[in-house]
Amino acid sequence: MKHFRLTTSFLLLTTFITLLTSCFRGVPKPLPIAIIPQPQSIQRSTGVFTLHKTLRIDSSEPLQEVAEFAKKSLATTGISISSKSTAPAVIFVHDTTLVNEEGYRLQVSQNSIHISAKDAKGAFYGLQSLVQLLPTDIPKDPIHIPCMTIDDYPRFSYRGMHLDVGRHFFPVSFIKQYIDMLAQLKMNTFHWHLTEDQGWRIEIKKYPKLQSIASQRKETLIGHYTDQPPQYDHTPYGGYYTQEEIKEVVAYAQERQVTIIPEIEMPGHSQAAIAAYPELGCTGNPVSVATTWGVFDDIYCPKEQTFEFLEAVIDEVITLFPGPYIHIGGDEAPKTRWKNCAHCQELIQREQLKDEQGLQSYFIQRMERYINSKGKKIIGWDEILEGGLAPNATVMSWRGTAGAVTAAKEGHHVILTPTSHCYFDYYQSQNETEPLAIGGYLPLKKVYDFEPIPEAMTAKEASYVLGAQGNVWTEYMKTTDQVNYMVFPRALALSEVLWSDKKIKDYTNFIHRLQNFLPRLDKKGIRYANHLYEIKGRSFYQNDSVYFELKTTLPNSRIRYTVDGSTPTKNSASYLAPFYLTKSCTIKAAVFEEDRMLGELYTTHFKKHLAVEQQLQISPAPHPNFDSGGSRALINGIVGHHKRFNDPEWLGFNSDSVRLTLKLNHSQKMNTLRVRFHNGKTSWIYAPKDIRIQSKTGFQRVQNIPESKRPFVETAIELNGLVADELYLTIYNYGKIPDGRPGAGHNAWLFINELILE
């Protein structure tokens, strides 16, 4: 038998040949091979396995449970399971020679299909690959699976998805569907974020007020956190999972080889628990379950009564979750109350701690000792590094990757969840019709391109990286449909990051497999985001002129566009190459198939002003994570969208000040300079307080910018007919973020776009 190594181009070629050969009568049309995540190795061989709706499932003893699961899961595709010895068979083979316990070999031959694995985990993943080789619904006519051998195993041992059920609560049926989808994508961990300021969601029998008070809130914020004035829905909201429901979910996950990590937040994000039991806080004063988003000052006070409470909570939690880890949170705990609490200050003295950070470390280490004594390990967000890491803790690095590097240097296991690539609450499209989200911009391709091992790590440090996880914070996800929309298809891209070797990843090939996968989501009624026909626009400078480029996710799509503000039609210009922008205009574009528009209409505005096509020097340079548009992004005539900050229009800085030198080709008369800043305080981004503007001719002005709650700020500097060929701007960073706000104590970020000179 002849074997080929399967490559991307080979896959596309075989699909093409398949289409061609299927035109000839008598040649069976093999099904496409389109598995997500991409298996490590697929070797095609000649022939096909023909399936006439009926299959027998057989297995060696240790894989019996997976075989039983296979019967149930294949039956949902319409296959009838037969016990007749003559029926074509799927045979699970226990093979102890395989190295990886999550690995498997799937052999499709003309007469049978063998799934070999050392462990139930591998057998389960072999089954998932087989299911993806079959159509979503088995047709009446026979189908033909190409003969092949798949040898497969994961790149990372931790492949996770998180879900926040505190901000919004989702029913058990949805949690099961979520876990089911993770399992199909060969993800093995569900991080269940069960407690929050806005609601406590796990039944704790010893503390009934967690159910009656902490699980309920009076009302919920409407719109974005930064909208002014804040508005509320005046509707009580709540819910929690009973221990019986949790057992049911845990059993469901176990059957799908998914481990659940429960998160019980401490010391911060605990306002709901303090609302139920005010004595757990520093002041003892009543507080309510939070009705808005953000970071709250009322956190657990590290007193004996609090530890007694948390230990009793942990006692009940560990009886429910058989996995090795308890996540204790540790993030975003303002020290405002601790600084003013006699008990906290005395404890700092008594334990000879350096400060409140030391007290946080004391808190976490004490809880770690308790949890370790029960045979479980802790995971915490990267703030648990501050003030000294608990000895056996695993760190979840979310504020970038620096926490991961530090923890790995100290010999701790790490899981990567940096906001830049793993926060699925960020926008996934630049389209203005996107449903409201927290902010940010994380398109599918960026998730796909994520590399979980930070560049700054040595090989030894990299060995501490267990894997990565997508985080789903649900402030702006009220419904299960909205959660699905934010999760899919980005979770598919992440599954491939975590499972498939870097060498075999290929985005175009992934997109083809994704199109094949979408009917599986349709069948389950999962509402996913589809930006395959989304147009992305980009302006760039070439020979001192501004050009505009249009692109789509799918190569070879037909884009039609206009520059007069009209909606493109089948007769509009076909986009062939970047075009030159000479005057202010509105660009509209869409993907067309024949005369039909696919996907959403793309719109952007180009404003020709005096700074466009001039020169701009920036010192210091923007932060490398936020400089993708280049220095002229600030003078390209395209105004950055006010809801985002991490697209190419915005430049981001974390220096104390930024000096901009604008050089014009000739002296010009200037009336105003408008400068725009992002002001997304939940993302630690602040508009500056002052800008100094000067010219060579001695003009000088300092513009003060009042602090604003709006998500972006535009300031207009009056130039009163100044005639000059150079302008110098010094923009001063806001400085340290005040206590009680997200990122307190850190330097604020400064995001600029655009300088509009008129």
For residue 682, the minimal CB distance to ligand ACM (Å) is 10
Let me know: does 535 contact 550? Beta carbons within 8 Å: yes
Nearer to ligand ACM, 203 or 265 (CB): 265
Per CB under 5 A, the segment of 127-135, 281-289, 318-326, 672-680 that binds Zn ion is 281-289
Are 578 and 636 within 8 A, CB to CB?
A: no
- Identify what 282 binds: ligand ACM, Zn ion, none; CB under 5 to 8 Å per kind: Zn ion
* Cβ(645)–Cβ(439) below 8 Å: yes
Binder of residue 381, out of ligand ACM, Zn ion, none (CB less than 5 to 8 A by kind): ligand ACM
Which one, of 752, 745, 713, lies nearest residue 228 by Cα? Answer: 713
CB of 182 to Zn ion, least distance (A): 39
Q: Between residues 265 and 649, which has the closer beta carbon with respect to Zn ion?
A: 265
Given ligand ACM, Zn ion, none, residue 158, with its beta carbon under 5 to 8 Å by kind, binds: none
Q: Which does 90 bind (CB under 5 to 8 A by kind): Zn ion, ligand ACM, none?
A: none
- Using CA atoms, how far apart are residues 730 and 733, in angstroms rounded to an integer? 10
Shortest spacing between CB 742 and ligand ACM, in angstroms:
8
- Contact between 514 and Zn ion by CB under 5 A: the answer reads no
What's the closest the beta carbon of residue 225 comes to ligand ACM, in angstroms? Answer: 14
CB of 357 to Zn ion, least distance (A): 15
Residue 127 binds Zn ion, judged by CB under 5 A:
no
- Which span (210-218, 246-254, 334-342, 584-592) binds Zn ion, by CB under 5 A? 334-342
Token pair of 169, please?
């609560």
Binding region for ligand ACM (CB under 6 A) = 331-332, 381, 398
User: Does 301 help bind Zn ion (rule: CB under 5 A)?
Assistant: yes
**Exposure string over 257-281, b if 16+ CB within 10 A, otherwise e:** bbbbbbbbbbbbbbbbbbbbbeebb
Contact region with Zn ion (CB under 5 A), list: 143-151, 344-352, 634-642, 657-665: 344-352
6 binds, among ligand ACM, Zn ion, none (CB under 5 to 8 A by kind): none
Catalogue the long-range contacts made by 285-292 (C-beta closer than 8 Å, 24 or more residues apart). Answer: 288/217, 288/218, 289/197, 289/198, 289/199, 289/213, 289/214, 289/216, 289/217, 289/218, 290/196, 290/197, 290/198, 290/217, 291/198, 291/217, 291/218, 291/219, 291/220, 291/221, 291/232, 292/221, 292/225, 292/230
Are the C-beta atoms of 386 and 357 separated by less than 8 Å?
yes
If contact means CB under 5 to 8 A according to the sort of partner, which of ligand ACM, Zn ion, none does residue 398 touch?
ligand ACM
* Binding of Zn ion by 295 (CB under 5 A): no
Q: Which is nearer to Zn ion, 266 or 301 (CB)?
A: 301
241 binds, among ligand ACM, Zn ion, none (CB under 5 to 8 A by kind): none
Residue 299 as a binder of Zn ion (CB under 5 A): the answer is no
120 lies in the site for Zn ion, by CB under 5 A: no
- Residue 341 binding target from ligand ACM, Zn ion, none, CB below 5 to 8 Å by type: Zn ion
Q: Are 682 and 691 in contact (CB under 8 A)?
A: no
Give the containing element (helix H, strand E) for 666.
Answer: strand 657-678
Instruction: Please choose which of ligand ACM, Zn ion, none residue 497 contacts, taking the beta carbon within 5 to 8 angstroms, the exact cut-off set by kind.
Output: none
What is d(CA 529, CA 596) in angstroms, rounded to the nearest whole number? 20
Supply the minimum distance, in Å, between the C-beta of residue 327 and ligand ACM: 10
- The window from 240-248, 301-309, 565-573, 729-737 that contacts Zn ion (CB under 5 A) reads 301-309
Given the complex with ligand ACM, which of 331 and 627 has the nearer CB atom? 331
Distance, in Å, from the CA atom of 94 to the CA atom of 61, rounded to the nearest integer, reads: 8
Between 293 and 653, name the residue whose CB sits nearer to ligand ACM: 293
User: What distance in Å separates the CA atoms of residue 548 and residue 393, rounded to the nearest whole number?
Assistant: 49
Shortest Å, Cβ 417 to ligand ACM: 8
Tell me the DSSP string of 354-413.
SSHHHHHHHHHHHHHHHHHHTT-EEEEEGGGGTT---TT-EEEE-SSSHHHHHHHHTT--
From residue 230, alpha-carbon distances to 217, 235, 255, 291, 709 in Å are 16, 15, 45, 11, 11
Residue 1 or 342: which CB sits closer to Zn ion? 342
CB of 194 to ligand ACM, least distance (A): 14
> With respect to Zn ion, which residue has the nearer C-beta, 206 or 343?
343
- Pick between residue 63 and residue 344 the one whose CB is nearest to Zn ion: 344
Q: How far is the CB of 471 from ligand ACM (least distance, A)?
A: 6
The nearest distance, CB 282 to Zn ion, in angstroms, is 3
Q: Quick one: 200 or 398, whose CB is closer to ligand ACM?
A: 398
Of 162, 176, 102, which is closest to residue 469 (Cα–Cα)? 162
Structure tokens at 147: 């003969």
Q: Taking CB within 5 to 8 Å according to partner kind, which of Zn ion, ligand ACM, none is near residue 488? A: none
Q: Which is nearer to ligand ACM, 48 or 414 (CB)?
A: 414
Q: Does 333 bind Zn ion (CB under 5 A)?
A: no
Q: Which does 526 bind (CB under 5 to 8 A by kind): Zn ion, ligand ACM, none?
A: none
Q: How far is Cα 539 from Cα 580, in angstroms, rounded to an integer?
A: 9
Nearer to Zn ion, 310 or 438 (CB): 310
The Cα 673–Cα 755 span in angstroms is 7
The reply on whether position 274 binds Zn ion by CB under 5 A is no
Q: How far is the CB of 343 from Zn ion (least distance, A)?
A: 5
Q: Which is nearer to ligand ACM, 438 or 492 (CB)?
A: 438
- In single-letter form, the type of residue at position 729 comes to L
CB of 268 to Zn ion, least distance (A): 13
Cα–Cα distance for residue pair 758/681, rounded to 1 Å = 30
Q: 3-state DSSP call for residue 669?
A: strand
Q: What string of DSSP letters covers 306-334?
A: HHHHHHHHHHHHHHH--SSEEEEE--S--
Q: Which is nearer to ligand ACM, 321 or 398 (CB)?
A: 398
448/495 Cα distance (integer angstroms): 9
In the complex with ligand ACM, the residue whose CB is nearer, 331 or 386, is 331
Q: Which is nearer to ligand ACM, 398 or 548 (CB)?
A: 398
DSSP summary character for residue 241: B
Pairing relationship of beta strands 651-653 and 750-757 according to DSSP bridges: antiparallel
> Nearer Cβ to ligand ACM, position 169 or 398?
398
Out of Zn ion, ligand ACM, none, which partner does residue 331 contact, by CB within 5 to 8 A per kind? ligand ACM
Handedness of CA 612, 614, 618, 623 (dihedral sign): positive
Query: 162 with 492: CB under 8 angstroms?
Result: no
585 binds Zn ion, rule: CB under 5 A: no
Q: Is 341 in the site for Zn ion (CB under 5 A)?
A: yes
- Give burial (CB, 10 Å; 0-12/13-18/19+) of 178: buried
Residue 301, binding choice from Zn ion, ligand ACM, none, Cβ under 5 to 8 Å by partner class: Zn ion
Single-letter residue type at 492: L
**Using rule CB under 5 A, residue 589 touches Zn ion:** no
- Which residue, 298 or 332, is less far from ligand ACM as judged by CB? 332
Closest chain position to ligand ACM (CB): 331
The string of DSSP letters for 592-636 reads EETTEEEEEEEEEEE---TTTTSEEEEESPPPGGG-TT-GGGGGS
Least distance in Å: CB of 287 to Zn ion? Answer: 14
Residue 754: cis peptide before it, omega within 30 degrees of 0: yes
Does 344 sit near Zn ion (CB under 5 A)? yes
Strand spans (E) along 442-534: 465-470
Binding-site member from 133, 282, 328, 408 for Zn ion (CB under 5 A): 282
Looking at the DSSP bridge assignments, the partners of residue 11 are none
By a kind-dependent CB cut-off of 5 to 8 A, residue 344 interacts, out of Zn ion, ligand ACM, none, with Zn ion
- Judged by the rule CB under 5 A, the positions of this chain that interact with Zn ion are 282, 301, 341, 343-344
